[in-house]
Amino acid sequence: MGGHQDGGVASQLVVQRIAGLFHHGGLEDRVHALRQCLLDVHHRLAQGAAARGKTCVIGSTVVALLIEGERAVCVWAGDSRCYLWRGKRLYQLSRDHSVFQRLLDEEHMSPERAAQHPQAHALTRAVGSRDLLDLDVIELNIRQDDVFLLCSDGLYQAIAHSDLGKALNLKLPRLALNSLFDNALCGAASDNLTAVVIHV
Protein backbone atom coordinates (compact mmCIF):
# COMPACT_ATOMS: atom_id res chain seq x y z
CA MET A 1 0.00 0.00 0.00
CA GLY A 2 1.64 3.21 -1.19
CA GLY A 3 1.97 6.00 1.35
CA HIS A 4 2.03 3.68 4.37
CA GLN A 5 4.85 2.24 6.42
CA ASP A 6 6.40 -1.09 5.45
CA GLY A 7 4.09 -1.83 2.52
CA GLY A 8 6.88 -3.91 1.01
CA VAL A 9 7.15 -5.95 4.20
CA ALA A 10 3.40 -6.53 4.18
CA SER A 11 3.32 -7.66 0.55
CA GLN A 12 6.29 -10.00 1.07
CA LEU A 13 4.59 -11.57 4.07
CA VAL A 14 1.41 -12.13 2.05
CA VAL A 15 3.36 -13.82 -0.77
CA GLN A 16 5.46 -15.95 1.59
CA ARG A 17 2.47 -17.20 3.55
CA ILE A 18 0.49 -18.05 0.41
CA ALA A 19 3.52 -19.81 -1.10
CA GLY A 20 3.82 -21.89 2.07
CA LEU A 21 0.30 -23.32 1.80
CA PHE A 22 0.05 -27.06 1.14
CA HIS A 23 -1.81 -27.94 -2.06
CA HIS A 24 -3.90 -30.82 -0.77
CA GLY A 25 -7.63 -31.44 -0.68
CA GLY A 26 -10.25 -30.24 -3.13
CA LEU A 27 -10.72 -26.72 -4.45
CA GLU A 28 -13.05 -25.76 -1.60
CA ASP A 29 -10.45 -26.86 0.95
CA ARG A 30 -7.75 -24.85 -0.82
CA VAL A 31 -9.95 -21.74 -0.95
CA HIS A 32 -10.70 -22.10 2.76
CA ALA A 33 -6.97 -22.46 3.53
CA LEU A 34 -6.17 -19.38 1.45
CA ARG A 35 -8.83 -17.29 3.15
CA GLN A 36 -7.64 -18.38 6.58
CA CYS A 37 -4.04 -17.63 5.61
CA LEU A 38 -4.93 -14.08 4.55
CA LEU A 39 -7.00 -13.51 7.69
CA ASP A 40 -4.05 -14.62 9.81
CA VAL A 41 -1.67 -12.28 7.96
CA HIS A 42 -4.21 -9.47 8.31
CA HIS A 43 -4.40 -9.99 12.06
CA ARG A 44 -0.61 -10.08 12.39
CA LEU A 45 -0.10 -6.89 10.37
CA ALA A 46 -2.89 -5.07 12.20
CA GLN A 47 -1.36 -6.01 15.55
CA GLY A 48 2.05 -4.82 14.44
CA ALA A 49 0.62 -1.50 13.27
CA ALA A 50 -1.36 -1.00 16.47
CA ALA A 51 1.82 -1.47 18.51
CA ARG A 52 3.42 1.43 16.59
CA GLY A 53 0.64 3.93 17.16
CA LYS A 54 -2.89 4.95 16.27
CA THR A 55 -2.11 6.27 12.79
CA CYS A 56 0.19 3.45 11.64
CA VAL A 57 -1.05 1.16 8.85
CA ILE A 58 0.98 -1.76 7.48
CA GLY A 59 -0.96 -3.23 4.60
CA SER A 60 -1.01 -4.82 1.19
CA THR A 61 -3.47 -5.53 -1.56
CA VAL A 62 -3.80 -9.13 -2.72
CA VAL A 63 -5.24 -11.05 -5.64
CA ALA A 64 -4.93 -14.83 -5.92
CA LEU A 65 -6.18 -17.44 -8.38
CA LEU A 66 -6.76 -21.11 -7.66
CA ILE A 67 -7.36 -23.53 -10.54
CA GLU A 68 -8.50 -27.14 -10.39
CA GLY A 69 -9.67 -29.00 -13.46
CA GLU A 70 -12.23 -26.81 -15.21
CA ARG A 71 -12.86 -24.54 -12.22
CA ALA A 72 -11.10 -21.38 -11.08
CA VAL A 73 -11.55 -19.25 -7.98
CA CYS A 74 -10.30 -15.69 -7.62
CA VAL A 75 -9.83 -14.15 -4.15
CA TRP A 76 -8.88 -10.52 -3.59
CA ALA A 77 -8.81 -7.44 -1.37
CA GLY A 78 -7.81 -3.98 -2.57
CA ASP A 79 -7.19 -2.80 -6.10
CA SER A 80 -4.90 -5.47 -7.49
CA ARG A 81 -6.81 -7.08 -10.34
CA CYS A 82 -7.56 -10.36 -12.09
CA TYR A 83 -8.28 -10.22 -15.81
CA LEU A 84 -9.44 -12.98 -18.15
CA TRP A 85 -8.55 -13.01 -21.86
CA ARG A 86 -11.07 -15.23 -23.64
CA GLY A 87 -12.15 -15.33 -27.26
CA LYS A 88 -10.22 -12.16 -28.12
CA ARG A 89 -12.00 -10.24 -25.35
CA LEU A 90 -10.65 -8.91 -22.06
CA TYR A 91 -12.77 -9.26 -18.91
CA GLN A 92 -11.99 -7.70 -15.53
CA LEU A 93 -13.01 -10.38 -13.03
CA SER A 94 -12.15 -8.55 -9.81
CA ARG A 95 -13.74 -5.30 -8.69
CA ASP A 96 -11.55 -2.68 -7.05
CA HIS A 97 -11.98 -1.96 -3.36
CA SER A 98 -11.33 1.76 -3.67
CA VAL A 99 -13.03 5.08 -3.06
CA PHE A 100 -13.09 5.61 -6.83
CA GLN A 101 -15.10 2.41 -7.37
CA ARG A 102 -17.40 3.25 -4.47
CA LEU A 103 -18.13 6.66 -6.00
CA LEU A 104 -19.04 4.97 -9.28
CA ASP A 105 -21.25 2.35 -7.63
CA GLU A 106 -22.91 4.24 -4.78
CA GLU A 107 -22.85 7.88 -5.89
CA HIS A 108 -23.32 7.08 -9.59
CA MET A 109 -20.58 9.52 -10.51
CA SER A 110 -19.03 9.55 -13.94
CA PRO A 111 -15.47 8.14 -14.07
CA GLU A 112 -14.17 11.61 -14.90
CA ARG A 113 -15.82 13.24 -11.89
CA ALA A 114 -14.93 10.37 -9.53
CA ALA A 115 -11.28 10.62 -10.58
CA GLN A 116 -11.22 14.23 -9.36
CA HIS A 117 -12.11 13.21 -5.80
CA PRO A 118 -9.12 13.86 -3.50
CA GLN A 119 -9.34 10.34 -2.08
CA ALA A 120 -10.16 8.58 -5.36
CA HIS A 121 -7.24 6.15 -5.15
CA ALA A 122 -7.65 5.39 -1.44
CA LEU A 123 -8.38 1.76 -0.66
CA THR A 124 -11.49 0.61 1.16
CA ARG A 125 -10.12 -2.88 1.86
CA ALA A 126 -6.64 -4.34 2.27
CA VAL A 127 -4.74 -7.00 4.17
CA GLY A 128 -3.52 -5.30 7.34
CA SER A 129 -5.95 -2.37 7.35
CA ARG A 130 -7.59 -1.36 10.62
CA ASP A 131 -10.96 -2.70 9.50
CA LEU A 132 -11.98 -6.35 9.52
CA LEU A 133 -10.75 -8.08 6.37
CA ASP A 134 -13.58 -8.83 3.95
CA LEU A 135 -12.30 -10.89 1.02
CA ASP A 136 -14.22 -11.07 -2.24
CA VAL A 137 -14.41 -14.46 -3.96
CA ILE A 138 -15.70 -15.42 -7.40
CA GLU A 139 -15.76 -18.81 -9.09
CA LEU A 140 -15.95 -19.52 -12.80
CA ASN A 141 -15.58 -22.35 -15.27
CA ILE A 142 -12.48 -22.13 -17.41
CA ARG A 143 -12.08 -23.00 -21.07
CA GLN A 144 -9.19 -24.15 -23.17
CA ASP A 145 -6.94 -21.25 -24.23
CA ASP A 146 -8.12 -18.97 -21.41
CA VAL A 147 -5.42 -16.58 -20.23
CA PHE A 148 -5.43 -14.95 -16.79
CA LEU A 149 -3.55 -11.83 -15.71
CA LEU A 150 -3.04 -11.00 -12.04
CA CYS A 151 -1.49 -7.56 -11.58
CA SER A 152 -0.99 -4.55 -9.35
CA ASP A 153 -2.48 -1.15 -10.05
CA GLY A 154 0.93 0.11 -11.13
CA LEU A 155 0.63 -2.05 -14.25
CA TYR A 156 -2.96 -1.55 -15.37
CA GLN A 157 -2.93 2.18 -14.68
CA ALA A 158 0.07 2.60 -17.00
CA ILE A 159 -1.33 0.60 -19.94
CA ALA A 160 -4.37 1.09 -22.14
CA HIS A 161 -7.07 -1.58 -21.92
CA SER A 162 -6.48 -2.52 -25.55
CA ASP A 163 -2.75 -3.00 -24.94
CA LEU A 164 -3.47 -5.40 -22.08
CA GLY A 165 -5.45 -7.53 -24.52
CA LYS A 166 -2.77 -7.39 -27.20
CA ALA A 167 -0.16 -8.64 -24.75
CA LEU A 168 -2.34 -11.47 -23.45
CA ASN A 169 -3.01 -12.58 -27.02
CA LEU A 170 0.66 -13.54 -27.40
CA LYS A 171 1.42 -17.26 -27.39
CA LEU A 172 3.62 -17.56 -24.31
CA PRO A 173 3.28 -16.07 -20.79
CA ARG A 174 6.86 -14.76 -20.92
CA LEU A 175 6.18 -12.90 -24.16
CA ALA A 176 3.02 -11.42 -22.62
CA LEU A 177 4.88 -10.27 -19.52
CA ASN A 178 7.69 -8.74 -21.57
CA SER A 179 5.16 -6.83 -23.65
CA LEU A 180 3.27 -5.62 -20.57
CA PHE A 181 6.36 -4.39 -18.75
CA ASP A 182 7.96 -2.84 -21.83
CA ASN A 183 4.73 -0.98 -22.57
CA ALA A 184 4.35 0.26 -18.99
CA LEU A 185 7.99 1.30 -18.58
CA CYS A 186 7.99 3.19 -21.88
CA GLY A 187 4.91 5.11 -20.84
CA ALA A 188 3.75 6.85 -17.68
CA ALA A 189 4.55 4.12 -15.13
CA SER A 190 4.75 5.77 -11.71
CA ASP A 191 4.32 2.80 -9.36
CA ASN A 192 5.68 -0.67 -8.73
CA LEU A 193 4.82 -3.21 -11.44
CA THR A 194 3.74 -6.72 -10.48
CA ALA A 195 2.13 -9.27 -12.80
CA VAL A 196 1.56 -12.98 -13.32
CA VAL A 197 0.21 -14.46 -16.57
CA ILE A 198 -1.36 -17.94 -16.61
CA HIS A 199 -2.23 -19.84 -19.79
CA VAL A 200 -4.78 -22.63 -19.32
pLDDT reported for residue 1: 58
pLDDT reported for residue 54: 65
Q: What CATH class is the domain 7-151? A: alpha beta
The per-residue b/e assignment along 175-192, b for 16 or more CB within 10 angstroms, e otherwise, is ebbebbbebbeeeebeee
Min mean pLDDT across 21-25, 41-45, 90-94, 149-153 is at: 21-25
Return the domain boundaries, the chain.
7-151
Beta-bridged to residue 141, according to DSSP, are 71
The per-residue pLDDT for range 62-118, each reduced to its tens digit, is 999 999 999 999 999 999 999 999 999 999 999 999 999 999 999 999 999 999 999
Burial category of 108 from C-beta neighbours within 10 Å (exposed 0-12, middle 13-18, buried 19 and up) = exposed
The per-residue pLDDT for range 110-126, each reduced to its tens digit, is 999 999 999 988 999 99
Mean of pLDDT over the chain: 90
For residues 139 and 73, is the Cβ–Cβ distance under 8 A? yes
Report which secondary-structure segment, H or E, holds 136: strand 136-141
The per-residue pLDDT for range 163-184, each reduced to its tens digit, is 999 999 999 999 999 999 999 8
